[in-house]
A = this chain, B = another copy of it.
């Protein structure tokens, strides 16, 4: 018992989406402020500063009790978010399994903890096809990952994913689908910056997709400001795009914060840009429990990607607004 810590997040909200002559009320339990999950983790002290670590973390939908979608064909998730075992020491941590690529942690440069569906930037990382993304595209199976310790404010991480096991039959290894990535961070006083590079194999005979990210934040005390810029370059020009975002988080009294952010996605080779404006108020009832109200306004120029939240297609040129009123509890 003492070897395992159980932890998790349960986050559920009522949402309302309007736009394009469409309106819908729905519950969303995937975790708007923070992804709903149940996890098991542990550490064993091996002596000489060495330790063994593991983490098993399943996502879940509090609204329906279901597991996350997207399991490899014919399989089902046991631990969709993380599943890894590793060794750690003063030299850092080395893990094997399903782990985060560095692009996941870019959420710290976006408002609302980078909420994959409701922050200014979150949903547009998915619309733009980024693996530098605060969601599942940054969860890489079959990966070896190294994370450095904090080196006077500097940190580094690298990951290599041998993507073979996406094929449920574990038969022939599709060549050219390996991935690797690196991330650098520097935090000092009120400031922090992060740089990330992802190199994503997309199959034999096709050039790897390359993604680059730079983000930073500065905490003025009465206000924390943040900005990001990222680009994706694929073999075909229509896969290229640029995404930038700016945001502020303003503390209110001791336990609340007001969030405001804007993000813009510029797709190359087609007039198919999107932008997203989010504003939110998060009231912490404790360190573990928060109430939140978020309004996201999303506009797509030409194409009609799914809306945030309920993911109802809207027509090109339309604008959708989505409200979410919810509660997030960590345990």
Q: Which chain A residues have a beta carbon within 8 Å of chain B's beta carbons?
A: 1, 3-8, 10-14, 24-27, 29, 38, 40, 42, 44, 46-47, 50, 52, 54, 56, 58-67, 69, 71-72, 74-87, 96-98, 139, 141-144, 162, 164-166, 168-173, 285-286, 288-289, 310-313, 326-327, 329, 331
Contact = CB atoms under 8 A, between A and B. Distances in A.
DSSP class of A's interface residues: helix, strand, loop or mixed? Answer: strand
Which 4 pairs across A and B sit closest by C-beta, in order of nearness?
Answer: A10-B85, A12-B96, A27-B142, A65-B83
7 contacts: A1-B1, A26-B165, A26-B173, A29-B97, A46-B285, A61-B83, A69-B75
A11 B50 CA distance: 18
A29 B81 CA distance: 15
B83 A78 contact: no
A164 to B, nearest CB: 5
A72 B64 CA distance: 9
Given A46-B286, A52-B289, A171-B312, A69 B74 contact: yes
Which of A85, A286, A311 gathers most chain B CB within 10 Å?
A85
A143 B79 CA distance: 26
A50 to B, nearest CB: 7
Given A27-B164, A87-B327, A79 B65 contact: yes
A295 B97 CA distance: 21
B96 A78 contact: no
B65 A331 contact: no
A47 B284 CA distance: 13
A1 B6 contact: yes
Contacts of A3: 6-7, 288, 331
A14 B95 CA distance: 12
Given A46-B285, A171-B312, A64 B141 contact: yes
Nearest to A47: B286
B83 A60 contact: yes
Which of A12, A66, A77, A329 gathers most chain B CB within 10 Å?
A66
B331 A4 contact: yes
A313 B60 CA distance: 36
Contact of A26 (B12, B78, B162): B162
Contacts of A46: 285-286, 289
A42 to B, nearest CB: 5
A172 B59 CA distance: 24
A61 B56 CA distance: 10
A69 B168 contact: yes
